Amino acid sequence: MANHSAGESLEDRNKWRVLALYEALNGRDADRVQQLLAPDIEWWFHGPPEHQHMMRMLTGADDDTAAEFRFFPERVAAFGSTVVAEGTGPGAATSWVHAWTVSPDGIITQVREYFNTSVTVTRVAADSPPKPSVSPKDSPRPTHCLPVWQSRGRKSFPGLVLAI
């Protein structure tokens, strides 16, 4: 799964790194996980506390539920340094979304984990470039959010927007 070519894009490289992480996590390959993750990875969680499977895997606090849980991404998309992956738990009773941040050197530095939450990813963009005669700091540029990805979570899930 982790095979890739030298001519790949940054986004492709980041997707391969995240997919390699899922492969290592599901195989319980602690050495490979440590190679892919920053030692001080930043982790955010939104969802029911009993679904903190990733935290239990990453900290070694595997309980019976986390030991059985596997993350199999069904959709993966990259937007610069951010890689978004979505999947479902056993029997599709739960759904999850992970938003990973990959550093320029290919190390995963952050994960935002959402369980049973509808997630919309938006890219913040300026409406227009600043006028050459006006300093950018003197004239704030209006911005807008462009939706670039939407999870397939159920409509009954609470929703949130992740701006990148």
pLDDT digits (tens, 9 = 90+) for 26-70: 898 989 999 999 999 998 988 888 888 888 877 777 655 556 778
Indicate if the pLDDT at residue 139 is higher than 60.
no
pLDDT, residue 71, reads: 87
Query: Which segment, 16-20, 117-121, 133-137, 144-148, is predicted with the most confidence on average?
Result: 16-20
Three-state SS at 97: strand
Helix (H/G/I), strand (E/B), else coil: 23 = helix
- Asked if the model's pLDDT at residue 2 lies above 50, the reply is no
For residue 161, is pLDDT > 70?
no
pLDDT at 8: 82
Q: What local confidence, expressed as pLDDT, does residue 140 receive?
A: 60
Percent of the chain having pLDDT more than 90?
34
Phi, psi of 119 (to 5 degrees): -120, 135
For residue 156, is pLDDT > 80?
A: no
How far is 32 from 23, CA to CA, in rounded Å? 9
- Tally Cβ neighbours within 10 Å of residue 70: 15
Q: What is residue 88's predicted lDDT score, i.e. its pLDDT?
A: 81
Q: What's the pLDDT at 129?
A: 56
**What does residue 14 show for φ and ψ, rounded to 5 degrees?**
-65, -40
Percent of the chain whose predicted confidence (pLDDT) is above 70: 68
What's the pLDDT tens digit per position in 95-129?
A: 888 999 999 999 999 999 888 767 777 777 655 55
pLDDT of residue 50: 81
